[in-house]
Structure 1
Amino acid sequence: MNASRARLVLILIVVLISAALMYVLLTQRGEFRINQSIAEVRLEAEDGILSGNANVEHDESSTSKAEGYSGRGYVAIRNEGTITLTHHASRAGLYEAILGYNAANGPKNTFLTVNGVNTAEVTLKHDVAEGYQGFEEISIGNVFLHEGENTIVVNKGWGWFNLDYIILRPSTVKDGDHRVEKNLSNPNASREARALMNYLVDTYGKGIISGQTELINAAWIYSKTGKFPAILGLDMMDYSPTRVENGTKGKAVDEALEWGAKNGIVTIHWHWNAPKDLINHSEHPWWRGFYADATTYDFAYALANPDSEDYRVLIRDIDVISEQLKRLRDAKIPVLWRPLHEADGGWFWWGAKGPEPYKKLYRLLYDRMTNHHGLNNLIWVWNSEEPDWYPGDDVVDILSTDYYAPPGDYNPLSVKYEHLVQLRDDTKMVALAENGPIPDPDLLQAYRANWLYFVTWTGDYIQDGISNTPEHLQKVYGSDYVITRDKLPDNLYSYGLPDPTA
C-alpha cells in the first residue's frame, strides 16, 4: 500500500470513528430518538372499522364531493360515528399523528383515542383557496404507541368532516433541556420576581407545579390529600370599578398575601368588568360585565381616542387594579400575572374586536403597570395559542393556554403543549393556566408534555368527584413528578440570587 492510499484509509477511519462518537453523544443528549430510523406509515381511513353513519365514499358514491383522496376512498363522518384503525408498531415510543382531512363545511373539532388515551381536540380548518374541495393535513400531536398492536379511534367531535388517512411518523420531540433563559421582559424586575423566574426555569421539564384556584379549594385539597397545591390562583374581578359600585368587595389580594407568607406561589387573572356601558338587565346583569354580550363598551374606540371618556375610564380601571397589586409588591410577593385571558375566544370584551386592538390593549396594560406604577413584581403570562394574538416577546414571560377536557379525561394535552412550544421556538416556558381534569402525571412524562404548571378551576371541577376523582387526586398530589407547596424551596423568593448582604 503506497503512502497516499494509507493516508486516505487513515482519514476514512478517523471520519467513521468521529461519526460514531457524535452519534453516541447526541443519543445521550436526546437529539436522536431510538425509533428515529422507523419509516412513517399511512393508515387509510377506509380500511378501518366504521360505526354510526360513518361511511366510505369515492368518486362514484360521493355526496361530499371531496377530491384527490388516496387509496380506495375516504370516510365521511357526519352527525355520528367513529373510525377504528389498528397498527402494529415494531417499537414502543412517541409518534406524531397527522390527519389527512377535508373540512369543506367549515372548521370542525375532533380528537383521537389511542389505546384508551384521548388527545386534546384539534380544529380541522379549511385553509386553502376558496372552492378547493381536496384534502389537507394537520398534526394532532404526539401519541404513545406500544410495541405490537395499537388501537386508534377517530372520534366524531363536531362531526361533518371527511378523513382520508392518518400518518404516523417517529416523533422529533427532544429530551433534555429547553432553550428558556432566566430573563424577564421587565429589565427592572424585582429581586423576588427574578428569584421566582430562576426557580421556574430550573424546574421546567423536571416536574409540573400544582395549582388551584381559590383558597377554599386549596384547603379542600389539603383535607383530601394531605398536600397543598404550590400555586394559588386568584381573580381581581371584584376590584373592578363597575362591580365595586354595585357593592362587591375584593378579597384576592388579602388571600394572596396570606398564601405568599406561607411560601406559596401566587397567580392572578382579572375578569375585568367593562369600564362602562354595561347592559345590566335580567339576561345580561352587571356582574356578567366581563362578557362581550353584556356590554356595549368599545375599547378599540377608546384606544383610538385617548382624549375620550372611554379612554379615561379604561386607564382608571388599570390604575385601580395597580394600586391593589402594589400591596403585593410592597410585601415582596411576586405574581404570575395573567391579564386579558382567553381573548381569542371572543367571549370577553377585550377579545371582541380582534387581535390588533387586543394587542394594543395588552401593551398599554403592560406599559401602565410596569413603567407608570412600577409593578416590578409581575411575571407576565400571555394566554392564547394563536400567533396572530401574540403581543411580543418584550411584554411576555410565559406562554399559557386554558383547556377543559371532558370529566375524567386525564390526557396530557400534548398537542396543545407542542403547539405553544413551537410558537416561540421553545424560548418561553409553557403553562396550563386553567384546566378541569388534571393531566395524569405518568402520561405527562410518557408524552414529554413538560407543562410548567397546572391550575385547576373552581367548584365542581375540583370537588364533584367526577372531573377529578378522589383516586386521581390522590395519584396527582402523591406523585413524585408533581410539585406541591411543601416541595417548594425555602428560599423561593431569593432562589438563585447572590446574598445582598455578602
Structure 2
Amino acid sequence: MVIMLSVSCRTIYNAEYTKTVMADPKLSKRARLLHKQLYYASKEGIILGHQDSPGYGVGWKYDAAVHAFESDVQKATGDFPGVYGFDLGHIELDKTHNLDTVGFASMRKNILDAHEKGGVITLSWHLNNPFSDGSSWDTISAVDKIIPGGAYIKKYEHWVERLAIFVKSLKHKGKGIPVIFRPFHEMNGNWFWWGDGNCSPSDYVALWKQTVHLLRDKHRVHQILYAYSPNIVDSEATFLKYYPGDAYVDILGIDIYDHDDSEAYAKNVRDNLKILSNIAKRKNKLYAFTETGSEKIPNEKWFTEILYPNIQASGIAWILFWRNARESHHYVPFPGHKSETDFIQFCKSRDILLLGNLQTIDTQ
C-alpha cells in the first residue's frame, strides 16, 4: 500500500516522521514501511476498515473450499475495506476456531489475501480469563496473577507463545506480514477482566510490558506494531491512566460506539478525537479510530450526518467499523439495507479511503 503525495509534502512529512520512536528496535522492514505509509495516509484521508471482513457478513460466511475474497463493504459499495480486523480470542486455548467461530487456518488465508491486495491487518485479542477460565467478560481479577510474581504467570506465558506462533506463521514470500496488535483494549471500562476496577493501573502496565517483552524479546516476533486504545475518555489524564509508556506503544486509538444516542455519540467523537490528536501529536504517535459503529444502523443518514462531520480532518489514519455477524448485530450496511445509499455516499467522500484508493508495492 502506498499513498501518492507530492515531493514537497513528502519532504515535510519525512522530516516529521524521523522523530518517531518504535516499540520494537528490531522491527521488520515491512512493519516499518507499513507504519510510515499509515502516517502518509493520515495526511491524505482516513482508511476505512471493517472487523472480520472477509471472514463473514450478513447471510454469508467464508468458504475455504471456494476461497472467495468477499466483504459486505464490497457488496454495498463495489470496493473493499483498506483495513481488516481479526480477533485472536481462543488462540491461547489452542482451538481451531476463534471465539466468533472463524477458523484460524481460514483467518491466515484471509490475512494473506488482504495483505497481497494492499490491505492493512489489525489484530485484537479477546482472550479468556487465565484465572477463572471464563471469557474476556468474566471480570474476576486475574491480572495480578499473571504478571511477575503471580501464580499463573507460566500459564499466561504459554498463551502468549501460542499467539506468537500464529503471528509468525503470517508470511508473504517468506517474510512476516506486518500486523497491528491491539491487546487489552477498552481498559478504562469495567467489562473485561483487564479493565477498570478489575486490576490496578500499575498491574495493567506491568501486563502490557510483559506481553511486549514476551513477543518481542523472547519469541522474536518483529512484525508487530502495538496499539493502545481506551474506551471513551473525558480528559487526557483519563486516556493516559493505563498508558504503558511511549517505548511500548506505536499507535494510539480510541473506541467509541453510538448506543442509540447519536447526539451524545457525535459529541464524544469530537471531544475524544481532539484529545487523541493532542496526545498523539505531543508524543509523535500515529493515531486511529480503532473501533466504532451503530448497531443495526437505525439512523438512515448515520454515516453522512452523524459520523462524517465529526471525523473529517481529524488526522486519524483509519476507522474500523465492528463486525457484521447477522441482521441483529451488524455495523456496516449490506445490500438492501436502508442506510446502504448513505454509506455509499460516505465512502465516496474524497478523504475516505477504501482498498481501491491504496496501491500495492513491493515491500521487500
Q: TM-score normalised by the shorter chain: which range applies? A: 0.7 to 0.9
Q: Structure 1, residues 56-75: CA drift from partner, whole Å, max 9, x if none? A: xxxxxxxxxxxxxxxxxxxx
Distance in 2 (alpha carbons) for counterparts of 1:368 and 1:442:
39
Q: 1:15-72: CA deviations, max 9, x gaps?
A: xxxxxxxxxxxxxxxxxxxxxxxxxxxxxxxxxxxxxxxxxxxxxxxxxxxxxxxxxx
CA distance in 2, matches of 1:389, 1:334: 25
Shift of 1:185: 2.1
Question: Counterparts of 1:245 and 1:471 in 2: how far apart (Å)?
Answer: 34
Q: CA deviation at 1:210?
A: 0.6
Q: Distance in 2 between matches of 1:474 and 1:290?
A: 35
2:217 paired residue number: 371
C-alpha displacement of 1:456: 0.3
Cα distance, 1:473 vs. partner? Answer: 1.2
1:236 and 1:252 in contact (8 A); partners too? no
Match of 1:405 in 2: 258
Query: Any conservation in 2 of the 1:407–1:468 contact (CA below 8 Å)?
Result: no
Tell me by how many angstroms 1:468 deviates: 8.3
Partner secondary structure for residue 43 of structure 2:
coil
Structure 1 residues 198 and 223 mapped into 2: Cα distance closer, same or farther (>3 Å)? same
Q: Percent identity over the alignment?
A: 21
Whether the 8 Å CA contact 1:359–1:389 is kept in 2: the answer is: yes
Amino acid at match of 1:443: P
Partner of 1:416: 272
Deviation at 1:297, TM superposition (A): 5.6
Aligned to 1:241: 93
Determine whether 1:326 maps to 2:192.
no
- TM-superposed CA distance for 1:331, in Å, is 4.2
* SS in structure 1 of the partner of residue 331 of structure 2: helix
Letter in 1 for 2:48: S
TM alignment of 1:21-32, pairs within 5 A? none
Structure 1: gaps spanning 5 or more residues: 1-175, 279-285, 495-502
Deviation at 1:276, TM superposition (A): 4.1
Q: Tell me, yes or no, if structure 1 residue 443 matches structure 2 residue 309.
A: yes
Aligned: 1:207 with 2:60: no
* Matching residue of 2:25: 187
Q: How does 1:125-140 map to 2 (within 5 A)?
A: none
CA contact (8 A) 1:253 1:325 kept: no
SS of the residue aligned with 1:303? coil
- Structure 2 partner of 1:490: 360
CA drift of 1:299 comes to 2.4
When residues 489 and 258 of structure 1 are mapped into structure 2, their CA distance, relative to the original with a 3 A threshold, is closer
Residue in structure 2 matched with residue 313 of structure 1 by the alignment: 155
1:382 is matched with which residue?
A: 228
Q: Does the aligned pair in 1 maintain the 2:123–2:179 contact within 8 Å?
A: yes
Match for 1:227 among 79, 87, 93? 79
What is the CA distance between 1:208 and its match in structure 2?
0.3
The one of 239, 244, 257 aligned to 2:112: 257
More RCO (CA 8 Å, sep 6+): 2
The amino acid that maps onto 1:219 is S
Aligned-residue Cα RMSD (Å) equals: 3.1
1:433 corresponds in structure 2 to 290
SS at match of 2:157: helix
Report the TM-score when normalising by structure 2.
Answer: 0.75
State how many pairs are aligned. Answer: 305
Q: Which moved more, 1:410-419 or 1:197-206?
A: 410-419
Structure 1 residue 439: Cα displacement: 5.6
Distance in 2 (CA, whole Å) between partners of 1:484 and 1:363 is 34
* CA distance in structure 2 between the partners assigned to 1:246 and 1:265 by the alignment: 20
Q: Which amino acid aligns with 2:256?
A: Y
User: For residues 123 and 362 of structure 2, what CA distance do their matches in structure 1 show?
Assistant: 18
**2:254 match: secondary structure:** strand
Corresponding residue for 1:477?
347
Distance of 1:389 and 1:357 partners within structure 2 = 9
For residues 466 and 224 of structure 1, the distance between their equivalents in structure 2, rounded to whole angstroms, comes to 8
Distance 1:465 1:356, change over 3 A: farther
- Measured in 2, the distance between the counterparts of 1:348 and 1:191 equals 34
> What letter is aligned with 2:331?
Y
Q: Distance in 2 between matches of 1:301 and 1:204?
A: 39
Structure 2 unaligned blocks of 5 or more: 1-11, 58-69, 234-238, 295-301, 325-329
Larger deviation, residues 434-443 vs 260-269 = 434-443
Three-state SS of the structure 1 residue aligned to 2:75 is helix
Q: 1:428 to 1:202 in 2, by over 3 A?
A: same
Larger mean CA deviation between 465-474 and 311-320 belongs to 465-474
Instruction: Please name the residue that 2:183 is paired with.
Output: 339
Give the C-alpha shift of residue 262 in structure 1.
2.1
Equivalent-residue separation in structure 1 for 2:337 and 2:206 (angstroms): 37
SS of the residue corresponding to residue 420 of structure 1 reads: helix
Alpha-carbon distance change, 492 to 430 in structure 1, aligned in 2, over 3 angstroms:
farther
Aligned residue among 303, 310, 315 for 2:147: 303
Residues 193, 378 of structure 1: 8 Å contact kept: yes
- Report 1:45-194 matches (<5 A): 181-194=19-32
Residues 1:350 and 1:244: Cα distance change in structure 2 (over 3 Å) = farther
User: Which SS does the other structure have where 2:203 is aligned?
Assistant: helix
Q: Secondary structure at the match of 2:288?
A: strand
CA apart distance, 1:466: 11
Amino acid at match of 1:414: R
